[in-house]
Amino acid sequence: MTRALNVHRIAPGATVQDRGRTGYRAFGVSQGGAADPLALAEGAALLGQSVDCAALELPGSGGVFEATEPLRIALTGAPMRATLDGAPLVWNASHALPAGSRLEIGGVTAGSYGYLHVGGGFDLPLQLGSRSAHLAAGVGTAVQAGDSLLVGEDTRSGVGLCLPQDSRFDGGVLRMVESFQTAFFDPATRDRFTDTTFTRDARANRMGMRLDSAGEGFATSAGLNILSESIVPGDIQITGDGTPYLLLRESQTTGGYPRIATVIPADLPRAVQTPSGGVLRFRFVLRDDALEAERKMRDHLRALPKLCVPLVRDPSQIRDLLSYQLISGVTAGDAPDEKE
């Protein structure tokens, strides 16, 4: 039988994602890949496999899935309600998925993007060196009900690990560095931007998110007369009406709107995981601070496997409890009787 995960129901816009594709920006194709690359690395650590393995990215809600053969799975990213044949599953942990069992993943309880990982990764054909769907570039397609996602060979066997819950799912402060056009905004406008509390607009996707705020927009002395040039995820463009847009993994590769700043890569997972209506603030940092944050992020990614700890299950949720050996050790058998 083919080793696969059958999709019975799934949220709109769900896609298979890995770390994306590099080397094609000159041809108008941005890197793409998992919206939250930290969640991708967390799943790899929980399953003891390469971070290059592709996972299923679930925007806001999950679906119903069934394995054709026994699989190992991990659930990371934005916490979602998940059950296996009706029994609740712990998020940010790895589990066994028996063949024929019913895995149900509901809506997010915080954040925006959840991830379903499988041991061996999803074995989709490589396109431009990646298994990621890049819908904005016309590469790949969204996963739909009725699809059967092939799963690669799994060389490991362990499950039952978990990682500490992260705090990146409720908004917060995003650090940013100056962009090529930051100087086009006068000091008062830049100060007002960092003093403003923004909310993530519901109009957001893998290309970018609109940032809403009270008060007037943010204008630049250069207006919109700026030559189109290279842009990257994290850039904050200011449109003609003064509205900021934070560009994300599938952003266009060039653009002419002025950019007030660029969010550092280490803070992009927090940005993309901010839910609709979530609160965001921005703070300028120096280049050296941004490089130090990047170093700490890389150190954290390398340390993830060592941060995995055994998952302590709630006995009330273990339906086959009597099959477990709950007492270990032996006695000599000749201990004297205790008398009351």
In contact, 15 and 114? CB cutoff 8 Å: no
Q: Which domain holds residue 127?
A: 4-164+304-321
Contact 294, 266 (CB under 8 A): yes
* Same domain as 213, residue 316: no
The answer on 259 and 210 residing in a single domain is: yes
- Position 318 scores a pLDDT of 52
Q: How many CB atoms lie within 10 A of CB 270?
A: 24
Residues 160 and 182 in one domain: no
Question: In the block, which residue shows the tokens 């994300």?
Answer: 248
Predicted local distance difference test score (pLDDT) of residue 323: 39
What's the total number of domains in the chain? 2
| 64 and 41 in a common domain | yes
Whether 23 is covered by a domain: the verdict is yes
Asked if residue 237 and residue 217 are part of one domain, the reply reads yes
The per-residue pLDDT for 101 is 96
What does the buried/exposed string (b/e) look like for 311-320 if buried means 16 or more CB atoms within 10 Å of the residue's CB?
beeeeeeeee
DSSP bridge partners of 71: 97
Residue 112 lies in a domain: yes
pLDDT for res 26: 85
Q: Strand pairing of 198-204 and 208-212? A: antiparallel
For strands 259-263 and 279-284, give the pairing: unpaired
Q: Are 161 and 94 in contact (CB under 8 A)?
A: yes
Residues 39 and 141 in one domain: yes
Question: Which pLDDT does position 331 carry in this prediction?
Answer: 44
Instruction: Provide the pLDDT for residue 280.
Output: 97
pTM: 0.90
pLDDT score for 88: 97
Predicted local confidence at residue 113, as pLDDT: 97
On whether both 148 and 241 belong to a single domain, the answer is: no
My answer on whether 26 and 81 are in the same domain is yes
Q: Do 137 and 231 belong together in one domain?
A: no
Are 80 and 224 in a shared domain? no
**Per-residue pLDDT, 298:** 97
Q: What pLDDT does 228 receive? A: 79
Q: What is the pLDDT of residue 117?
A: 98
Considering the domain boundaries, does residue 48 fall inside one? yes
Examine residue 97 and state whether it is found in any structural domain, yes or no. Answer: yes
C-alpha neighbours within 13 Å on the C-beta side of residue 321: 7
CA–chain centroid gap for 160, Å, is: 21
Please indicate, yes or no, whether residues 260 and 313 belong to a single structural domain of this protein. no
Domain presence at residue 326: no
pLDDT tens digit string along 267-311? 999 999 999 999 999 999 999 999 999 999 999 999 999 999 999
- Domain containing 219 — which CATH number? 2.40.100.10
Residue 335 falls within a domain, yes or no? no
Residues 159 and 190 reside in one and the same domain: no
Q: Looking at this protein, which amino acid is placed at residue 298?
A: R
The pLDDT value recorded for residue 122 is 98
* 290 in any annotated domain: no
CA dist 160 to 26, 95, 116, 310, Å? 43, 6, 15, 6
- pLDDT for 330 equals 47
pLDDT at residue 283, as a whole number? 98
Low-confidence ranges of the chain (pLDDT < 70): 1, 222-225, 313-340
Residue 328 counted as domain residue: no
